[in-house]
Structure 1
Amino acid sequence: MKVSIRGIYSTALIGLLQEKGFTIVNPTKSQVERFGITMKNEPDVMIVDSPSDRNCIEIRGSAEVVQELVKTLQSFFEDLVVLHLSVCEPLGRAKVGFPNQAKLKLDELRSRVSYTVPYHHYCRAGGEGLSSMVSFAEDLVERGLVPAEEMSRMFREQVEGITPRLGTMIKIIHIKPNGKRLSLGLGKVIWRGDGKARIQRRIMGFGVYDGLGVEKSPGDYAITEVTRFQPWMKTSYYSISGELKGRYYNISTPISLYPDHVHYFDLEIDVVVKPNSEAEIVDIELLEKALEEGRIREEVKIKALKIAEEIASKQP
């Protein structure tokens, strides 16, 4: 099974795929230097970064090998999300997402062959600015200008302190298990702490708040509380006069909090709290569907259910 691979996850994935019996072909210069790969051949599949989301890769080629590759990745990365998998013999295509637990495992894989800063793949996925910061830091270590241990300590502190600036307008990017990408609209950062932010969004239209069943009106506003790497976020909805209309807890993979956006893979299940009512867990059937369709593993479903139950009990 011959694989050609490009992109920000390539170094980490090459070592893993070689261990699992795949042959890497058509290497880049850095892949030759790091792995000694020299074979030039027609690949059975190609792996590239998804052009629409740097948290994902796309796999294209032989249907049989695409399926085997997805199976291999999903067995290794517990939290992997299979956003798309289509087979039309003899070709196949897949798109998979790497949540933050997977990114940490990717960091560990990459560190076996080259110095790797903490949160390497988290930063690579976060945009060009953070990606350049990674390249600069790792280059300093590789050139012997900064000791690896010192750089790792400084870089970890730097990343863990990254929070959007007060007053910044940022996006909340919400990826459904079926690959649908939703942007919850621009919101303004009204408070920030270490790895935390509160984001206010103005409601412009009429309708009903999903899950809450409460009327939506122009002038309402929503305040979303986000904590980096927390597997849920809370949104409180208020009327124009400041009256609480309800709270909505979105259960997801651990959240990425970047300077200009929030990113996570949604796990469908949510907790809603209406005024003067008890908390209610909703959309369990959609979580079950994601498991049945092979988009997530059983362990992810169990964790999501446990988180929802804890939130319903404590309403943090």
Structure 2
Amino acid sequence: NWVRFGRESRFALDEQRAAVTQTIPGHHRLKAGSEDAGTAVDLVEALGSEIDSFPFGAATESFGPTVDDSVRIVHSKPTGEEFALGRGTVTDRTVSKQRITVTRELSSSGRYDAIGTRREPGDTATTRFAEGRWWYPTVYRGESGTPKGTYVNIATPVEVFPTEIRYMDLYIDVIKRPDGTVNIVDQDELGAAIDAGHVPEVVADRATGVAQKVADVLRS
């Protein structure tokens, strides 16, 4: 058996720890990022510094990632599977939104999952990852900038670590085709995961609600 701690689990542990000792918001989240970050957390807490929210700006400025850094996108499944979607370059960091933008150049041919448009070498995938958000969008474009569609992955809250992005995929997703058509996809995969006991119904309900809100925004 295994237990994977995600962002919300780490923050719940922070609350338990804070009941008995000085604990900054994101204590366990930061320590999971790197040894250097863990040392910095220990120092800040030992000095009794007051921090009232997760220090995304300070963490990414000190330990990464920031613009021009390379990061790996780690895609986990509730079944325990884990694989990398590849590496990309950070092309923007917006501290006020606790968000980074990652751009990848694609080299394979085929068709984009669910969207159906052709994938060609030289296409780009631009993804925005916001710390703590239950979804992230990827916009696909051709080499000349031609839109090829948007794929919004619904997942457990995103974690932006110094060298990688982590989350757990919740199966259900939202797509927007170049013609403006918006659809929620893979509901059957989420249903199967519920039946198999891999995704609790409360989490599935949250994922479905997030997918509906994202679809509504994309249609507006």
Q: Same fold (TM over 0.5)?
A: yes
Identity of aligned residues (%): 32
Of 162, 176, 185, the match for 2:59: 162
Q: Does 1:190 align with 2:190?
A: no
Do the aligned residues in 1 keep the contact of 2:134 with 2:156 (CA within 8 Å)? Answer: yes
Correspondence 1:153 to 2:54: no
- Counterpart-to-counterpart distance in 2, 1:304 and 1:157: 23
For 2:54 and 2:26, locate their aligned partners in 1 and report how far apart those are by CA, in whole Å: 11
Match of 2:82 in 1: 181
Q: Which residue of 1 aligns with 2:29?
A: 122
Aligned-residue offset at 1:118: 1.4
The equivalences for 1:99-248 within 5 A come to: 99-138=6-45, 140=46, 146-147=47-48, 151-153=49-51, 156=53, 158-159=55-56, 161-163=58-60, 164-194=65-95, 195-248=98-151
Task: Say if 1:118 and 1:152, in contact at 8 Å, map to a contact too.
Answer: no
Q: Secondary structure at the match of 2:189?
A: helix
Partner SS state of residue 101, structure 1: helix
Mean CA deviation greater in 184-193 or 121-130: 121-130
SS in structure 2 of the partner of residue 131 of structure 1: helix
Aligned equivalents of 2:131, 2:178: Cα separation in 1:
28
Aligned-partner residue type, residue 44 of structure 2: A
Aligned residues of 2:156 and 2:169 also touching (Cα < 8 A): yes
The amino acid across from 2:168 in the alignment is: F
Instruction: Provide the secondary structure at the position in 1 that maps to 2:66.
Output: coil
Question: Which residue pairs with 1:66 in the alignment?
Answer: none
| Count of aligned pairs | 213
Q: Which residues of 2 match residues 15-54 of structure 1 at below 5 A? A: none
Question: CA-to-partner distance for each residue in 1:111-155, whole Å, 9 max, x for gaps?
Answer: 2333322111111221222222222333x2xxxxx33xxx1327x
Residues of 1 paired with 2:106 and 2:91: CA distance?
16
List gaps (5 residues or longer) in structure 1: 1-93, 141-145
Inter-partner Cα distance in structure 2 for 1:211 and 1:129: 41
- Map 1:225-304 onto structure 2 (within 5 A): 225-304=128-207
1:19-53 deviations in Å (ceiling 9; x for gaps): xxxxxxxxxxxxxxxxxxxxxxxxxxxxxxxxxxx
Q: 1:161, CA displacement in angstroms?
A: 4.3
Per-residue CA deviations over 1:274-297 (Å, capped at 9, x if unaligned) read 111421111111112222222222
Separation of aligned partners in 2, 1:289 and 1:170 = 31
- CA-based RMSD of the aligned residues comes to 1.7
Higher RCO structure, 1 or 2 (CA under 8 Å, sep 6+): 2
Contact 2:37 2:59 in 1 (8 A): no
Give the Cα–Cα distance (whole angstroms) in 2 for the partners of residues 152 and 260 of structure 1.
Answer: 27
Give the CA deviation at 1:248: 0.2
Q: How many Å apart are 1:160 and its aligned residue?
A: 5.0
Amino acid at match of 2:37: L
CA distance in structure 1 between the aligned counterparts of 2:59 and 2:114, rounded to whole angstroms = 32
TM-score where L is the length of structure 1: 0.64
Q: Counterpart of 1:165 in 2: which secondary structure? A: coil
CA contact (8 A) 2:34 2:162 kept: no
Q: Provide the rounded CA distance (Å) in 2 between the counterparts of 1:127 and 1:285.
A: 37
Q: Please give the TM-score of this superposition, normalised by the length of structure 2.
A: 0.90
Partners of 2:117 and 2:51 in 1: how far apart?
Answer: 47
